[in-house]
């Protein structure tokens, strides 16, 4: 088989073997792309929900001309080691972390809808830049979260099975139709997208692709279908068909069976911040902002934290967050400039990315090449330097209290770490400390 195709093999060892073969072809010049300076720190893999296993995600990022790629799965770091290994073979810089929902109980913004379309008081946050040796500890923290999530997932499947006989669909089996399309047996998470994917598969199996699906959705299931999406689903040759259909279900049907997460699935926010600090990683708040047109087609127009950002940001600082992450294609220029200004005011590092979880999405994010956003590229290199340095010696973690550069102001520290990250050879991350010393000597 073509080694590029093998990068998405179901077998991990085959994927890593393929990554070595693809890397050799890249080094020989047989495979070449036009590089950009773009980066993307927020790519989901098949260990949460994505068309791509980590090795393929690393290659797709390379193929898109990116200089760096970050794996950020929901509730899981099980794909992180593969991403680090595959990226090293392919020759693209990498970073790893995870995304998680936490409770904001006891905070100044308790009870509000903050950045989560499905829930009040439950907030998406992230841990970025986990040192490699700390990944097992992160996995242990996440294991009970996933166990709780799967108890809730089963309840939602039960809810689906109470509804779908009325549509003439057979009942869904959690193991056969949901778990089997996930990587749960290798420590991956099962998300709401998996549930909606199982439903999409059932609909396609019943009526096929094309106009039959459009009629089934609008007439039988009474799902509101925008004209643009009706055209996409009316085309049986649409290569992104399954992802478009499950996106419709996530935005327009999931609420019929959605079960709110419990406390066992969503740790207190302070526990997450403490974990990030303990791992010598970076605890991060994920800015959403009021939503207009969703780039993935699965978020409705809705208001979120923009109305109370001036109250939220100092509370995030008090809670111990070190950074704010945001996705430039998702927001207006006005939103982006405002969150940037607030990050500077409150001393937050800025981390960017585009959450790839559909085959329709592009890995690139050209907006970060514009003058107002170019600093996000430097921030990525600082993040990579932080992670690779801390993987050798945790004192070099960007926010470690005994970091030799802790006395420098954060912008100055980020600028220095950015120079280190950009100077690193992605095929030799273990040389990070030596590179740091070289950059320091160069002044």
Q: What's this model's pTM, rounded to 2 decimal places?
A: 0.95
The pLDDT-based confidence of 370 (bands split at 50, 70, 90) is very high
Stretch 325-344: mean pLDDT: 94
Q: Mean pLDDT, the chain, as a whole number?
A: 95
Q: Give the span between the Cα atoms of 142 and 95, in whole angstroms.
A: 19
Q: Write out the DSSP string of 89-129.
A: HHT-EEEEEEEEEEE-TTSTTTTS--S-TT-SSEEEEEEE-
SS3 content of the chain, % helix, strand, coil (to 5): 50, 10, 35
The confidence score (pLDDT) of residue 298 equals 45
Stretch 391-419: mean pLDDT: 97
The confidence score (pLDDT) of residue 299 equals 53
The confidence score (pLDDT) of residue 105 equals 98
CB of 263 closer than 8 Å to CB of 102: no
Q: Give the CA dihedral 153, 155, 158, 162, nearest 10 degrees.
A: -120
The DSSP output letter for 320 is T
How distant, in Å, are the alpha carbons of 208, 209, 234, 242, 250 from that of 237?
A: 12, 8, 9, 11, 22
Tens digits of residue pLDDT in 271-302: 999 999 999 999 999 999 998 754 444 456 78
Q: Determine whether 412 is exposed, middle or buried from the number of CB atoms within 10 Å of its CB (0-12, 13-18, 19+).
A: exposed
Stretch 308-324: mean pLDDT: 98
Tens digits of residue pLDDT in 93-134: 999 999 999 999 999 999 999 999 999 999 999 999 999 999
The confidence score (pLDDT) of residue 295 equals 45
The confidence score (pLDDT) of residue 302 equals 86
Q: Where along the chain do its domains lie?
A: 1-30, 144-256
Angle formed by the axes of helices 309-319 and 269-278, to 10°?
50
């Amino acid at each position: 088989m073509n080694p590029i195709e093998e990068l998405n093999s179901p077998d991990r060892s085959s994927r890593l073997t393929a990554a070595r073969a693809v890397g050799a072809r890249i080094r020989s010049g047989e495979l070449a792309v036009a590089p950009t300076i773009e980066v993307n720190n927020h790519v989901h893999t098949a260990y949460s929900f994505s068309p791509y296993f980590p090795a393929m995600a690393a290659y797709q990022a390379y193929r898109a001309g990116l200089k760096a790629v970050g794996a950020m799965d929901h509730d899981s770091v099980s794909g992180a080691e593969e991403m680090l290994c595959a990226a090293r073979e392919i020759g693209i810089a990498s970073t790893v972390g995870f995304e998680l929902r936490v409770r904001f109980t006891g905070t100044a913004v308790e009870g509000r809808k903050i950045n989560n379309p499905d829930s009040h008081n439950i907030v998406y946050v992230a841990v970025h830049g986990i040192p490699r040796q700390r990944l097992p500890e992160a996995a242990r923290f996440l294991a009970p979260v996933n166990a709780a999530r799967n108890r809730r997932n089963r309840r939602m499947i039960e809810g689906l099975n109470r509804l779908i006989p009325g549509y003439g669909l057979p009942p869904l089996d959690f193991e056969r139709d949901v778990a089997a399309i996930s990587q749960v047996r290798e420590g991956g998470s099962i998300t709401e997208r998996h549930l909606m994917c199982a439903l999409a598969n059932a609909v396609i199996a019943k009526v096929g692709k094309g106009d039959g699906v459009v009629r089934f959705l609008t007439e039988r299931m009474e799902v509101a279908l925008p004209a643009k999406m009706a055209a996409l689903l009316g085309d049986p040759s649409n290569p992104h068909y399954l992802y478009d259909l499950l996106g419709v279900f996530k935005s327009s049907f999931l609420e019929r069976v959605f079960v709110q997460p419990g406390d066992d699935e969503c740790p207190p926010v302070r526990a997450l911040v403490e974990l990030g600090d303990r791992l010598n990683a970076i605890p991060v708040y994920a800015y959403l902002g009021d939503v207009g047109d969703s780039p993935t087609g699965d978020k409705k127009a809705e208001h979120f934290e923009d109305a109370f950002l001036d109250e939220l940001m100092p509370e995030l600082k008090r809670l111990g967050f070190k950074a704010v992450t945001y996705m430039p294609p998702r927001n207006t220029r006005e939103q982006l400039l405002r969150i940037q200004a607030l990050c500077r005011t409150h001393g937050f590092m800025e981390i960017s990315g585009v959450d790839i979880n559909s085959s329709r999405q592009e890995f690139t994010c050209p907006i970060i090449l514009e003058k107002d956003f170019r600093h996000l590229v430097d921030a990525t290199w600082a993040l990579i330097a932080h992670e690779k340095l801390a993987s050798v010696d945790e004192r070099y973690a960007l926010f470690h209290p005994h970091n030799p550069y802790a006395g420098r102001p954060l912008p100055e520290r980020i600028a220095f770490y950015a120079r280190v990250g950009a100077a690193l050879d992605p095929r030799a991350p273990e040389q990070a400390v030596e590179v740091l010393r070289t950059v320091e000597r160069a002044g």
